[in-house]
Amino acid sequence: MSDKPNSKVVLGVDNFKAKATSRDFNYCIDTPIKKGGSGTGPTPVEYFLAAIAACVAITLRSYADKMKWDLGEITVVAREETRLTPIGIVKTIFEEISVEKSVSEEQLASLNEKASTCPVAQMVKNQTKITRTIEN
């Protein structure tokens, strides 16, 4: 088995309910009932936003540990907004980060800068090539 990150998703015939596997973890991906799904799990976009939020939090914890800063709990809320503009559809991801313990303004500025190095967000911000195959 490859040590490179990978996930497998199988979409059965039960509306939009998909079974996903990542390493030894099995989980459900679905769409809300009002959009034709079963409502049994987060949507792909919700998982994507959770991946960004988790990556930012882990990146900040790693950095804070290296700097020996006690941040307590780190909370990251990632949300997506889609707007129609004169140039077309513009999507924006907002990250709202908070730390439990009090830190200086300099530390907050450093954490804010470090948050931008999250590898999941980097895949979005930088061009990431997708190579696709399809078969029967």
- Rounded Cα distance between 50 and 44, Å, is 10
In tens, the pLDDT along 37-63 reads 999 999 999 999 999 999 999 999 999
Q: Kindly tell me the sign of the dihedral angle through the C-alpha atoms of 12, 18, 19, 23.
A: positive
With vertex at residue 87, the alpha carbon angle to CA 86 and CA 91, rounded to the nearest 5 degrees, is: 105
pTM of the model: 0.87
Per CATH, the homologous superfamily of domain 44-125 is K homology (KH) domain (3.30.300.20)
Q: For residue 8, what pLDDT is reported?
A: 93
